[in-house]
């Protein structure tokens, strides 16, 4: 593609960028050859109104996109599903009539699917990527699907751009690679030309996309929704899930080595946690606000590229989500589960967020194509577990491929009078059923974006300035790495021009890392504001970073002659602290110990590098140490643990192995006696001594 010149770009009324046709770029049309005037916005009723079903341009584009792949999901193809329950810990009856929010202590079953976005079903678990966090609540009033992510915002403001985003991030069309990676030309070309994506780009380059475990990441509903009470009053809401195990991420070098050692690392982690009864748990919280509060903010709550910081509007914890059972069959449940944002229950409703409005159409359309039938709701994992009618579902929709029901009677329409003639009359409307909130909407039919959506940099600046210095270094280094993989120079230049609007320091660090001069800042559609930092957004030294061993795995390296007492004492200490000890040895068979007994190793040294555990301890005899200092895998095991800022415990005899691995003394390198306490955290201050960052 030729370099874009300033006159190739036309600013829309809401600050969005339009790339217009010229001599080098033909006119964009629909599949029927109709010229398209606006490829940035859905058709809306007024500037901030709902999108309209008559938008045939959007429907054609999204229909085609939804049907591009079969049977694998187009996005979120690689997933991990788990059963569990939601329990209400504080009633929300004051703001919602939703059944699951009424009585403290009430429970409903859930099915949760975690996923990566960009890669196919056969890709790895641990790429730098957003993670899906979709929850299916089986309530007494039907199914509610909260189709969220582990990041509270998204790349785009309007769903009509979703096919373009995914086409850009997926494997490049001419070569079929890279798989599950953003470090390539087409992704950054798109991002550099979409200023609204800048905020999400910073999140994507942060440690949020290098999650250690599904159990240690947050979940967000992303959009603004409505809760509606029994009187019909609406309250805006944003949904949050906070991990009880705390937020944990990996380091890039660690991530790469985990991927090489175990492509199924996060999937396996969840399976093993469930197996040992270490059930993942999240606090379920809400941010509740009204129209006046929304209007007081310097950004639009209908803009999916924005958050409401917790310092401005605290999250009210009202429930807990616990996962306690792995699926009996991966395909039948995890692969066939169908989430749709349009699946809501009385008391929960949608807002006019244009990204959400598009998802309401797209997800259902995708499920129809991928599962091949309108009857996908009859698949057990998708089936409601009860309703007011006493059965999972009850309507007059009939037939269709894979119909599992055998309806009785002649009447497959409503209304009918056959019940009076002794025939089953079928179900009828319930005045207490779902009622859409009667929001007043008016305005001309327009393809525009509200001017309140035009600020693309203020929250990106807030996010950057909220980060811990260690996280800032990781973000800047991620930009350098990703943009170094971009072969088209003007794409790198355009991205750095956008970053100058976020923070001069960030842009300078990226430019220096690439060895390129800083270009002038790109033009902005709205003034860039200095919003107050939000420390709640941090992982490192943030409110959800927990110094605990609960749920973590400690790798204990042993070999022939290891002291039996030291091993037993350490294993007991790790278990008492809630951790999981994993004995690692050069061989997985019986390892003879100092007292004549033996122990079977849980893993082999060559197949279980230290990147796959949370901390390590080395308990060796002098004779074993002399052998292992000559074994590259053993040296690398210790070297990586030190480089990945993990705690390292050791007995006296193992000290030469640590010396060979270049381990330097600090608070995280301890004797066995103090190791359990040290193993509860990472040692971020060590990082400056072990790697160069931007």
Same domain (yes/no): 81, 137: yes
Q: Do the Cβ atoms of 347 and 99 come closer than 8 Å? A: yes
In the predicted structure, residue 59 carries a pLDDT above the cut 90: no
Same domain (yes/no): 243, 311: yes
pLDDT at res. 17: 67
Among candidates 66, 20, 65, which has minimal Cα distance to 40? 20
Q: How confident is the model at residue 7 (pLDDT cuts 50, 70, 90)?
A: very low
pLDDT at res. 11: 63
Q: Which residue has the higher pLDDT, 295 or 16?
A: 295
Q: What is the 3-state secondary structure (H, E, C) of 606-662?
A: HHCCHHHCCEEEECCCHHHHHHHCCCHHHHHHHHHHHHCCCCEEECHHHHHHHHHCC
Residue 560 lies in a domain: yes
Q: How confident is the model at residue 427 (pLDDT cuts 50, 70, 90)?
A: confident
Last residue of a domain, one of 336, 366, 382: 382
The per-residue pLDDT for range 491-523, each reduced to its tens digit, is: 999 999 999 999 999 999 999 999 999 999 999
Domain that residue 618 falls in: 553-689
For residue 19, how many C-alpha atoms fall within 13 Å in the half-sphere facing its CB?
17
pLDDT at res. 396: 78
pLDDT at res. 387: 66
In the predicted structure, residue 70 carries a pLDDT above the cut 70: no
In the predicted structure, residue 68 carries a pLDDT above the cut 90: no
CATH code for the domain of 587: 3.40.50.880
Among candidates 570, 566, 564, 541, which has minimal Cα distance to 683? 541
The helix/strand/coil state of 391 is coil
Catalytic residue among 31, 41, 67, 76, which? 76
Catalytic, 223? Answer no
In the predicted structure, residue 295 carries a pLDDT above the cut 90: yes
Supply 145's token pair.
Answer: 């699907």
Same domain (yes/no): 106, 145: yes
Same domain (yes/no): 315, 204: yes
pLDDT at res. 422: 76
For residue 577, how many C-alpha atoms fall within 13 Å in the half-sphere facing its CB?
23
Query: How much is the average pLDDT of 417-441?
Result: 82
Query: How much is the average pLDDT of 15-35?
Result: 73
pLDDT at res. 399: 86
Supply 159's token pair.
Answer: 């769903």
pLDDT at res. 8: 56
CATH code for the domain of 493: 1.20.1370.20
The per-residue pLDDT for range 462-494, each reduced to its tens digit, is: 999 999 999 999 999 999 999 999 999 999 999
CATH code for the domain of 195: 2.40.180.10
Same domain (yes/no): 249, 372: yes
Quick check: bond before 88 cis, omega within 30? no
pLDDT at res. 544: 96
Last residue of a domain, one of 487, 502, 537: 537
Looking at every residue in the chain, the average pLDDT score rounds to 93
In the predicted structure, residue 368 carries a pLDDT above the cut 50: yes
Q: Which residue has the higher pLDDT, 211 or 408?
A: 211
Q: Do the Cβ atoms of 133 and 150 come closer than 8 Å? A: yes
pLDDT at res. 258: 97
Same domain (yes/no): 244, 319: yes
Among candidates 506, 500, 445, which has minimal Cα distance to 471? 506
Catalytic, 167? Answer no
Residue 39 lies in a domain: no
Catalytic residue among 41, 149, 382, 416, which? 149
Residue 234 lies in a domain: yes
Residue 412 lies in a domain: no
Provide the 10 A C-beta neighbour count for residue 83. 18
DSSP label of 559: -
What is the share, in percent, of the chain residues with pLDDT greater than 70? Answer: 96
Residue 436 lies in a domain: no
Residue 187 lies in a domain: yes
Among candidates 400, 401, 398, which has minimal Cα distance to 411? 398
Last residue of a domain, one of 344, 366, 382: 382
Same domain (yes/no): 524, 572: no
Residue 396 lies in a domain: no
Q: Do the Cβ atoms of 602 and 630 come closer than 8 Å? A: no
Same domain (yes/no): 641, 522: no
pLDDT at res. 2: 42
Residue 510 lies in a domain: yes
Same domain (yes/no): 131, 181: yes
Same domain (yes/no): 175, 215: yes
pLDDT at res. 5: 45
- pTM here is 0.91
The per-residue pLDDT for range 207-238, each reduced to its tens digit, is: 999 999 999 999 999 999 999 999 999 999 99
The per-residue pLDDT for range 114-139, each reduced to its tens digit, is: 999 999 989 999 999 999 999 999 99
In the predicted structure, residue 67 carries a pLDDT above the cut 90: no
Quick check: bond before 415 cis, omega within 30? yes
Same domain (yes/no): 194, 287: yes
Overall domain count for the chain = 3
In the predicted structure, residue 653 carries a pLDDT above the cut 60: yes
Query: How much is the average pLDDT of 128-153?
Result: 96
Query: How much is the average pLDDT of 347-366?
Result: 94
pLDDT at res. 417: 85
pLDDT at res. 4: 46
Same domain (yes/no): 575, 488: no
Query: How much is the average pLDDT of 391-418?
Result: 83
∠ CA 188-66-340, nearest 5°, is 105
């Amino acid at each position: 593609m030729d370099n874009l010149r300033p006159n190739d770009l036309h600013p829309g009324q809401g600050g969005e960028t339009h790339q217009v046709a010229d001599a080098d770029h033909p006119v964009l049309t629909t599949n029927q050859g109709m010229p398209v005037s606006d490829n940035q916005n859905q058709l809306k009723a007024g500037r901030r109104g709902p999108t309209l079903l008559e938008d045939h341009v959007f429907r054609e584009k999204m229909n085609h996109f939804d049907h591009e792949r079969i049977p694998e999901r187009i996005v979120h193809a690689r997933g991990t599903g788990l059963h569990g329950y939601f329990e209400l810990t504080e009633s929300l009856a004051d703001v919602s009539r939703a059944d699951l929010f009424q009585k403290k202590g009430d429970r409903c079953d859930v099915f949760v699917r975690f996923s990566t976005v960009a890669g196919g079903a056969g890709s790895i678990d641990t790429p730098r990527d957003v993670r899906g966090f979709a929850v299916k609540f089986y309530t007494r009033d039907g199914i509610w699907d909260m189709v969220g992510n582990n990041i509270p915002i998204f790349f785009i403001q309007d769903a009509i751009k979703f096919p373009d985003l995914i086409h850009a991030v997926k494997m490049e069309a001419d070569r079929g690679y890279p798989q599950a990676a953003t470090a390539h030309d087409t992704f950054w070309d798109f991002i550099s030309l979409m200023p609204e994506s800048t905020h999400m780009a910073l999140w994507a380059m942060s440690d949020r996309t290098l999650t250690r475990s599904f159990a240690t990441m947050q979940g967000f509903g992303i959009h603004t929704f409505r809760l509606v009470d029994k009187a019909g009053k609406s309250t805006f809401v944003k949904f949050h899930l906070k991990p009880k195990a705390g937020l944990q991420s990996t380091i890039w070098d660690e991530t790469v080595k985990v991927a090489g050692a175990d492509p199924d690392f996060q999937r396996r982690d969840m399976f093993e946690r469930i197996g040992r009864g270490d059930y993942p748990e999240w606090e379920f919280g809400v941010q509740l606000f009204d129209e006046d509060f929304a209007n007081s903010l310097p950004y639009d709550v209908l803009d999916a590229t924005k958050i409401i910081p917790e310092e401005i509007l605290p999250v009210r914890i009202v429930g807990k989500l616990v996962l306690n059972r792995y699926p009996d069959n991966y395909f039948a449940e995890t692969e066939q589960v169908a989430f749709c944002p349009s699946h809501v229950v009385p008391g929960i409703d949608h807002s006019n967020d244009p990204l959400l409005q598009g998802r309401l159409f797209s997800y259902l359309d995708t499920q129809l194509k991928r599962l091949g039938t309108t009857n996908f709701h009859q698949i057990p994992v998708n089936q409601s577990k009860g309703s007011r009618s006493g059965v999972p579902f009850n309507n007059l929709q009939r037939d269709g491929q894979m119909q599992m029901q055998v309806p009785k009677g002649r009447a497959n329409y409503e209304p009918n009078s056959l019940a009076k003639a002794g025939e089953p009359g079928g179900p009828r409307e319930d005045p207490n059923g779902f009622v859409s909130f009667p929001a007043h909407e008016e305005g001309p039919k327009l393809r525009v974006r509200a001017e309140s959506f035009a600020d693309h940099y203020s929250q990106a600046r807030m996010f950057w300035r909220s980060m811990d210095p260690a996280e800032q270094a990781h973000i800047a280094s991620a930009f350098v790495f990703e943009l170094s993989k971009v072969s088209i120079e003007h794409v790198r230049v355009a991205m750095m021009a956008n970053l100058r609007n976020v923070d001069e320091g960030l842009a300078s660090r990226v430019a220096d890392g690439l060895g390129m001069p800083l270009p002038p800042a790109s033009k902005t559609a709205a003034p860039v504001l200095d919003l107050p930092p939000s420390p709640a957004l941090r992982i490192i030294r943030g409110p959800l970073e927990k110094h605990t061993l609960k749920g973590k795995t400690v790798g204990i390296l042993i070999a022939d002659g290891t002291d039996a007492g030291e091993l037993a004492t350490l294993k007991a200490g790790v278990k008492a602290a809630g951790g999981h000890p994993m004995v690692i040895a050069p061989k997985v068979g019986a390892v003879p110990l100092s007292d004549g007994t033996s122990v079977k190793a849980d893993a082999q040294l060559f197949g279980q590098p230290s990147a796959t555990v949370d901390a390590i301890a080395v308990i060796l005899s002098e004779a074993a140490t002399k052998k292992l200092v000559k074994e590259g895998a053993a040296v690398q095991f210790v070297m990586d643990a030190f480089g990945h800022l993990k705690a390292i415990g050791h007995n006296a005899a193992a000290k030469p192995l640590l010396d060979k691995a270049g381990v330097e003394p600090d608070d995280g390198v301890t004797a066995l006696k103090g190791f359990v306490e040290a193993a509860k955290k990472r040692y971020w201050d060590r990082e400056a001594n072990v790697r160069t960052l931007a």
